[in-house]
Structure 1
Amino acid sequence: MATTADAAAEPPYLRIAADLRRRIASGELAPGDRVPSTRRLAEQWGVALATATKALTTLRLEGYVEARPRAGTVVAARRTTPEGPRRQPPAAAPEHDLTRERIVRAAIDIADAEGLAALSMRGVAARLGVAAMSPYRHVGGKEDLVLLMADTAYGELGYPDTPPDGRRARLELGARTLWRLHRRHPWLAQLAPLTRPLLLPNLLVHGEWLLGALEGHGLTPSAAMDVQVLLFTYVQGVAVTLEREDQARAATGQTDDEWMDAQTAALHALTATGRYPAFTRLVTSLGEVGYDLDLDALFELGLRSLLDGLAIT
């Protein structure tokens, strides 16, 4: 039987993993349920983000949890035998198998599931099951790693060799391709301000596509650059909401619907003041159905309005 001293001597990440394992085994956390994020675990247990990441990595290797983009880390669907989990944790990757590509992919997985704020070099090492300093043999540091992640992510989607007819169709394809990438990797919208663009080969592929659509239509070089920047900024501006949604869910533990339900009293108090008649009429007309914000539909509305406003056909 373990003593209090034994428990205290146990590494923190094992204590965290054991607690989550118990909650999963008891049914408190069911398959598909989101488990606490690395940031929340770090706050609850008073440990570093890398320690929390190592705990979740341990459970992932054992088959208890899995990372899902935009959903975070959730309880995996697993079958068990009387002896325990069928899936056994694989051995840590040998150091000589560690490559820059594996490091970048692991970092992207962390950022997709937990957000860019949860990313650290130690966390990446923990996810890969290697020594904390091992990634530094392939990547200079977190700043370099984020640039490699971004270049890799922007390179996941490209364009056809034969462009569609018409510059509007080409611009729409470029904007929608960028939107799909930001949908897949919400952290991309958090990387750099507009005035300090990332000079990445795979990002320039998208800029080249947009600028190519604007050639030969009488625009000055500055105007063509303005339109290209405007389109990219529009995509990025809508996409900023994606990671903020994830951060809000992680911080509050509430889904968007649960959060909105909790705001009912405040909403009624505002409409009852009589100071916001247009808003009150709109809310009343929506009735119990309410308003569901569909970011994809909003993106299409904005893109159409933007191109119409620029008189691009």
Structure 2
Amino acid sequence: MAGEIDPPYLRIAAEIRRRIADGELAPGDRVPSTRQIAREWGVALATATRALATLSQEGVVRAQPRAGTVVAPRDAVPERARPRAAGADRELTRERVVRAAVEIADAEGLEALSMRGVAARLGVATMSPYRYVGGKDDLILLMADAVYAEASYPDDPPQGWRARLELGARTMWGLHRRHPWLAQISSLNRPLALPGLATHSEWVLAALDARGLEPEAAFNLHLLLYTHVHGLAVNLERRAQAEAASGLTDDQWVDSQQAAFDALAASGRYPTFAKILTSFAGGYDLDLDALFELGLTALLDGFAALPELS
């Protein structure tokens, strides 16, 4: 039978298409992620990515940053699937390859990214992207540089070092919010030499240098500010990874741990912890944006105590 010889990615696409047609998945509903597809059908991530890319090319689904891939509206005009044109590879550019990779990482996370998946998203031969990037590691650096370059700073800076640092920190937080995978690719002890990232460093360091701080002191404060953004941002992608791996939302996971937390509180060994925990009658709402602003204020208040900045 024809269905028995179809490639796995086509069989997966057909099943998701059936679920949509039968109403099991409605417009706006999230379809299985690449990781969930790989687990449910026992296929490689690249095969799962190709299945979603096929549905995306048909207009059946679309990528929605951080929501994953969702069912497209019923009135959307589908982009009909068609064989790859003979000249499609020649239309590729490095920018298109990088943009497609960013779209995959934004929607599904960095772990879902593969060179094969990028090729499938672009509708080109598997090896075609390699003519523009050396491999996945090179591609990730190009992606990072591209998204860091999305934001720019005004030619006329705001008055005062604090306003300038606030703008720099909020700009970086906004970038990580839009691209949560960004925080996964760098660390303080292995910095990235990227022009896009250097733009943000220049903005902060110029504000501190203008106040006469010693170079090492200025650089340390710059790193503290970056670490505040980065330290919170790593939780954005980890949240998505944990949900994909466990199938549980944050609230569901907390509910599953409630008995363990109750036991800790009831043990009598942690009275302050128990007091605070039991005060959250309606539950604790973890708001990373609020934590970012709270931490930024505290950090800059500390900076203000330095003689050069007071």
Is 1:141–2:141 an aligned residue pair?
A: no
Give the distance between the partners of 2:160 and 2:128, measured in 1 at CA.
50
Aligned counterparts, 1:5-84, within 5 A: 6-79=2-75
Q: What amino acid sits opposite 1:121 in the alignment?
A: M
Q: Is the 8 A contact 1:63 1:78 kept in 2?
A: no
Give the distance between the partners of 2:149 and 2:167, measured in 1 at CA.
15
Q: CA RMSD in A?
A: 1.6
Give the distance between the partners of 2:110 and 2:274, measured in 1 at CA.
38
Give 1:249 shift. 1.5
Which 4+ residue blocks in structure 1 deviate beyond 3 angstroms?
A: 90-93
Q: What amino acid sits opposite 2:139 in the alignment?
A: L
Q: Is the 8 A contact 1:116 1:187 kept in 2?
A: yes
- The alpha-carbon distance between structure 1 residues 10 and 296, as it changes in their structure 2 partners (threshold 3 A), is same
- Tell me the alpha carbon deviations over residues 89-118 of structure 1, each in whole angstroms, 9 at most, x when there is no partner: 254461221111110000000111111111
Give the distance between the partners of 2:162 and 2:278, measured in 1 at CA.
38
Q: What amino acid sits opposite 1:130 in the alignment?
A: V
Aligned counterparts, 1:168-187, within 5 A: 168-187=162-181
Out of 109, 112, 120, the residue aligned to residue 115 of structure 1 is 109
Q: What amino acid sits opposite 2:235 in the alignment?
A: T
Give the distance between the partners of 1:99 and 1:117, measured in 2 at CA.
23
- Which segment drifts farther, 131-140 or 263-272? 263-272
Give 1:268 shift. 2.3
Secondary structure at the aligned position of 2:129 is classed as helix
Which TM-score applies when normalising by structure 1? 0.92
Equivalent in the alignment of 2:302 = 309
Give the length in aligned residue pairs. 303
Is 1:295–2:288 an aligned residue pair?
A: yes
- The alpha-carbon distance between structure 1 residues 158 and 167, as it changes in their structure 2 partners (threshold 3 A), is same
- Tell me the alpha carbon deviations over residues 211-238 of structure 1, each in whole angstroms, 9 at most, x when there is no partner: 1100132311111111111111211111
- Tell me the alpha carbon deviations over residues 136-178 of structure 1, each in whole angstroms, 9 at most, x when there is no partner: 1111111111111011000001100100000010011001100
Q: Is the 8 A contact 1:36 1:250 kept in 2?
A: no
Q: What amino acid sits opposite 2:94 in the alignment?
A: R
- Tell me the alpha carbon deviations over residues 25-61 of structure 1, each in whole angstroms, 9 at most, x when there is no partner: 2222222222221122122222221111110011112
Give the distance between the partners of 2:244 and 2:63, measured in 1 at CA.
14
Q: Is the 8 A contact 2:63 2:69 kept in 1?
A: yes
Give the distance between the partners of 1:167 and 1:86, measured in 2 at CA.
50
Give the distance between the partners of 1:41 and 1:105, measured in 2 at CA.
23
Aligned counterparts, 1:99-248, within 5 A: 99-248=93-242
Q: Is the 8 A contact 2:116 2:126 kept in 1?
A: yes
- Which segment drifts farther, 191-200 or 146-155? 191-200
Task: Report the identity percentage.
Answer: 66
Q: What amino acid sits opposite 1:309 in the alignment?
A: G
Give the distance between the partners of 2:182 and 2:220, measured in 1 at CA.
21
Q: Is the 8 A contact 1:106 1:128 kept in 2?
A: yes
Q: Which runs of 5+ in 1 are unaligned?
A: 80-84
Give 1:184 shift. 0.6
Give 1:8 shift. 2.9
Give 1:198 shift. 0.7
Q: Is the 8 A contact 1:32 1:77 kept in 2?
A: yes
Secondary structure at the aligned position of 1:8 is classed as helix
Q: What amino acid sits opposite 2:133 in the alignment?
A: V
Which TM-score applies when normalising by structure 2? 0.93
Give the distance between the partners of 1:122 and 1:304, measured in 2 at CA.
44
